[in-house]
Amino acid sequence: MSIVKKLQAAVVNSLTNLYNQPFTDKDFQINQTKPEFEGDYTVVLFSLLKATKKSPEELGQQLGSELLQTEPEIFVSFNIIKGFLNIVVADGYWLKLVTKHYEDVCFGKHALNGKKVMVEYSSPNTNKPIHLGHLRNNFLGWSVAEILKACGYKVFKSCIVNDRGIHICKSMIAWQMFADGATPQITGTKGDHFVGEYYVKFNDEYKLQVADLVAKGVTQKDAEKQAPIMLATQQMLQDWEAGKPEVIDLWKTMNGWVYEGFDVTYKNIGSDFDKTYYESNTYLLGKKIVELGLKKNVFYKKEDGSVWIDLTADGLDEKLVLRKDGTSVYITQDIGLAQQKNDEYNIDESIYVIGDEQNYHMKVLKLIAQKLGVAAADAIHHLSYGMVELPSGKMKSREGTVVDADELVDEMINTARRHTEELGKVKDFTSDELVELYNTIGLGAMKFYLLRVDPKKRMIFNPEESIDFHGFTGPFIQYTYARIQSILRKIGKEEMGEEFWINQNLLPLEKQLIIFLEKYTNTLDQAAYELNPSVIANYVFHLSKTFNSFYVEHSVANAETEEKKILRIHISVMTATVIKSALQLLGIAVPERM
């Protein structure tokens, strides 16, 4: 149990004993004591004055004394300033914490709680390569999954690949028109980039054809509908749905190229999935559920045969769920897939990592699922995140104004190499070791950059300004870890019995560090509760910052006494353990040297 929770419980007990009436931990607030006052934790007394009919001074005295009496091992002294009861925690408490957990890789984590969660993320389209926006999605999804695992959930990572539809046919048509039989192998292009080029080519040609028609006197609207390349694409989609062999063959071939490319990217950035769904398999799902809903009068049919749901009573609009030709729309598939996920995995919670532009869609999805009585409806949770934009505005694949994921990864790794070479600290590394190090640092910088911001906030990425390697960054934290490892390599782990060093007074920075380490548990819980990796990113940065202050102020190897030396080794090991654990939850590796 964390110290804050212990204090909360102790205060509730003490109050109940003292004043013969029930209290809960909601009746008061506990904060960390501000550095300018003496103490570690502060009970804010104002909210208790009415119930206890005491003055702050009197209440503080009584409560403080009672706390010291009931938990003399933990609380050693207190002071009262205005309405604040500042409590000092025994050094022995902190020392014991360090002896117990300093090498505990599970510190802060929870045992399995029996609950199952599915995290759906990534969800790429197979007509273009992955860009910066997808990276935010990937890192978020992966990290949230790991955070939930650490908090005791059984987690399934899933991915729905949008592998069919009009946009896929666009690159297929363009390939037929312009490729002249070219393949990724022949051109030496990564498969997803290769296909993406044809998606851009489609749009270029489409624009030309529309302009041509407009020049001939056709209205813009009509021109957009009549452009031959668009008509051909629509025809191709129909052929695909009819299962026309040559179309299916081309579709399989081109998607195959994309998957080869994606595999490389996913491997590079460390994304993985337990289950991959393909829209080509799921797009027909949900129709049966809609039919059932019609019987239950959840839906209604219009004269033209299309099926709708009326959500105006819930403050939303009417929503189409089945076209007049009986085919399903986006939301129909999603209802089907939600049901299927539940059937296959019997999940307690289903998290969708999807951009905030789909907030409305997800709201509607959940509402419809609930009205239909789909088993997993209440479990649906949309982890909505803000778009990554350029200074010039939104990224658009079809305009070619995107920050390509592969290029960015390469650039980050290159920058890592440049910095490392300039510093010249690892000249004895083999080339394999160097490659690994550059990867660790480059990806660390990039992942941290995207995860340190609250997911729901929109972010603007300026390609002119490179991602930093100093300050509030991944490399800064990795560096702190490497520094600790360096100390440990030099002096080794000295084995001394606990009784030798467990009784000593902590210096302010030593104590501050341990208090920070102790907070890891609550931090993890909060990150899981909020589904927010930035909570971890902020925590591990401040932990590293505190360690670096400690590092310059106090020598470990040349500590004042042998007791101090052993203590500081333990604190350092524990800091390294927590840094490694926290970064791992963000998908960031740590180097032994850098």
Partner RNA sequence: GGUCCGGUAGCUCAGCUGGAUAGAGCAUCAGCCUUCUAAGCUGAGGGUCAUUGGUUCGAAUCCAAUCCGGAUCACCA
Identify residues 456-495 at the interface with RNA (CB under 7 A): 456-460, 468-473, 475-476, 479, 482-483, 485-487, 490-491
Would you state the structure tokens that stand for residue 23, as one six-digit string? 């209290």
Residue 61 lies near RNA (rule: CB under 7 A) = no
Give the footprint of RNA on residues 505-544 (CB under 7 A). 534-535, 538, 541
What part of residues 369-428 is at the interface with RNA (CB under 7 A)?
386-387, 394, 416, 419-420, 423, 425
Show the site string, 119-148: x = touches RNA by CB under 7 A, - = not: ------x-----------------------
Number of neighbours of residue 216 by Cβ within 10 angstroms: 8
CB of 160 to RNA, least distance (A): 9
# of chain residues touching RNA (CB under 7 A): 88
The least CB distance from residue 216 to RNA, in Å, is 26
Least gap, CB of 217 to RNA (angstroms):
26
Which CB, 215 or 242, lies closer to RNA? Answer: 242
Alpha helices in 380-519 (DSSP H): 405-423, 431-451, 474-491, 498-501, 508-518
Residue 162 is classified by DSSP as B
Residues 554-583 within binding reach of RNA (CB under 7 A): 554-558
Question: Scanning residues 199 to 238, which ones bind RNA (CB under 7 A)?
Answer: none
Q: Which is nearer to RNA, 31 or 276 (CB)?
A: 31
Q: Does 594 bind RNA (CB under 7 A)?
A: yes
Give yes or no for residue 12 binding RNA (CB under 7 A): no
Q: Which of residues 259-298 bind RNA (CB under 7 A)?
A: 279
Nearest-Å Rg of the Cα atoms of the chain is 30
CA proximity to 135, closest of 450, 401, 466, 579? 450
Q: Considering the complex, what minimum distance in angstroms separates the CB of residue 283 from RNA?
A: 7
DSSP 120-146: E----BTTS--BHHHHHHHHHHHHHHH
Indicate the residue among 6 and 96 with the shorter CB distance to RNA.
6
Nearest to 438 by CA among 486, 475, 480, 482: 475
C-beta of 204 vs 468, nearer to RNA: 468
Q: Is 44 in the site for RNA (CB under 7 A)?
A: yes
- How far, in Å, CA of 344 to CA of 496, rounded? 53
Task: Name the one range near RNA by CB under 7 A: 36-44, 206-214, 284-292, 398-406.
Answer: 36-44
Neighbouring C-alpha atoms within 13 Å toward the C-beta of 430 = 2
Stretch that binds RNA, among 28-36, 178-186, 199-207, 268-276 (CB under 7 A): 28-36
Kindly tell me which of 43 and 155 has the beta carbon lying closer to RNA.
43
Structural contact between residues 320 and 330, judged by C-beta atoms closer than 8 angstroms: no
47 forms part of the interface with RNA (CB under 7 A): yes
For 379, phi and psi rounded to 5 degrees?
Answer: -80, -15
Residues with Cβ within 8 Å of 92's Cβ and at least 6 positions away in sequence, in order, are 73, 502, 503
265, 192 Cβ separation under 8 angstroms: yes
Nearer to RNA, 253 or 555 (CB): 555
Tokens standing for 364?
A: 């509607």
Q: Which of 5, 17, 24, 34 binds RNA (CB under 7 A)?
A: 34
Candidates 14-22, 197-205, 293-301, 549-557: pick the segment binding RNA (CB under 7 A): 549-557
Tell me if 536 sits within 8 A of 582, measured CB to CB.
yes
Least Å distance between CB 66 and RNA?
19
Q: Which window, 33-41, 95-103, 110-118, 269-277, contacts RNA (CB under 7 A)?
A: 33-41
Cα of first residue to Cα of last residue in the chain, in angstroms, is 36
Among 18, 90, 320, 403, binds RNA (CB under 7 A): 320
Give burial (CB, 10 Å; 0-12/13-18/19+) of 188: exposed
Tell me if 252 contacts RNA by CB under 7 A: no
Check: CB of residue 127 under 8 Å from CB of residue 170: yes
Among 17-25, 132-140, 179-187, 451-459, the segment contacting RNA (CB under 7 A): 451-459
Measured from the CB of residue 346, what is the shortest distance to RNA in angstroms? 26
Residues 154-193, one symbol each (x = binds RNA by CB under 7 A, - = not), give --------x--xx---------------------------
DSSP lists the bridge partners of residue 156 as 118
Q: What residues between 349 and 368 interact with RNA by CB under 7 A?
A: 356-361
Can residue 84 be called a binding residue for RNA (CB under 7 A)? Answer: yes
Distance separating alpha carbons of residues 539 and 15, to the nearest angstrom: 32
Q: Which tokens is 52 given?
A: 């206890």
Distance CA 99, CA 234 (A): 68
Residue 434 lies near RNA (rule: CB under 7 A): no
- For RNA, give the closer residue by CB, 216 or 490: 490
- Cα–Cα distance measured from residue 67 to residue 74, given in angstroms and rounded to the nearest whole number: 9
Distance, in Å, from the CA atom of 70 to the CA atom of 8, rounded to the nearest integer, reads: 13
Interacting residues of 210 by C-beta distance below 8 A, sequence separation 6+? 220, 223, 224, 227
